Structure 1
Amino acid sequence: MPLNIVVDSGFWFALFDERDSYHEEALELVTYIEDFNVLIPWPTLYETLNTRLVKRPERREAFKRFFEGSNVTKIDDTPYRDDSIIVVLNPLMGQEYSSVDYIIRQILEDTDIKTDALITFNARDFEDICYQKGIELLP
């Protein structure tokens, strides 16, 4: 049974930007994940499809090819959106995550979404939840 891998925005930035310090690691990972189910949370798409990516046709086309792959599933953020705004904007909640990272954390906690691994270059924000849920952190 193929693994289900959630992918954070930082992976896409690194993959499509040769100047990114994680670019080489992202290139290695992209060949690895082609055999697995790639779960893309919608908020990561909003971050990834920024002006820098869309103004470069070759990057846009490369992302489009990957995004339209049969092994890619887009994860709707509707169930997590309102809660993320409340938590992120409330300093009493003690959270220091971005809204996107908070939503990813909620997806990782969601028992209806089978997640085996998370690809992120920002492991610090996800180590605790991944450890609790037995989710592998990549790279």
Structure 2
Amino acid sequence: MIIVDTGFWVALFNNKDQYHQSAQDSLAQYPHEPLITTWCVLTETCHLLLQRSSNTYQGVQKQIKLINIFKQYPQLR
């Protein structure tokens, strides 16, 4: 079980983030380990993805992708 905070999600979805590759590597290293997070983290991540995107459309697309991941994987809690 891995507790995931906002920094991980932002890095994972923002390929310009300095920790993007590290977030991808961490996810690949533990493919079957459940990820635990909170709705507060989801809310904060959505806000930052929109704020840091070069345009609103890209930010919203990243938010939708993140929410779909939460819906698709029941091991995310």
Which TM-score applies when normalising by structure 2?
0.72
Looking at structure 1, the residues matched to 69 and 27 of structure 2 have their Cα atoms a distance apart, in angstroms, of 9
Task: Name the CA distance, whole Å, in 2 between partners of 1:28 and 1:65.
Answer: 21
1:12 corresponds in structure 2 to 9
The 2-side partners of 1:22 and 1:48 are apart by 15
Cα offsets for 1:85-128 (capped at 9, x unmatched): xxxxxxxxxxxxxxxxxxxxxxxxxxxxxxxxxxxxxxxxxxxx
The structure whose Rg is larger is: 1
- 1:21-100 maps to which residues of 2 (within 5 A)? 21-50=18-47, 51-52=50-51, 55-56=57-58, 57=61, 59-68=62-71, 69-73=73-77
List structure 1 runs of 4+ shifted beyond 3 angstroms.
52-55
Partner residue, 1:90: none
Instruction: State the one-letter code of the partner of 2:76.
Output: V
TM-score (norm 1): 0.43
CA RMSD of aligned residues (A): 2.0
Q: Provide structure 2 residue ranges, at least 5 long, that are not aligned to the other structure.
A: none
Q: Whose helix proportion is higher, 1 or 2?
A: 2
Shift of 1:6: 0.6
Mapping for residues 85-124 of structure 1, pairs under 5 Å? none
| Structure 1, gaps ≥5 residues long | 74-139
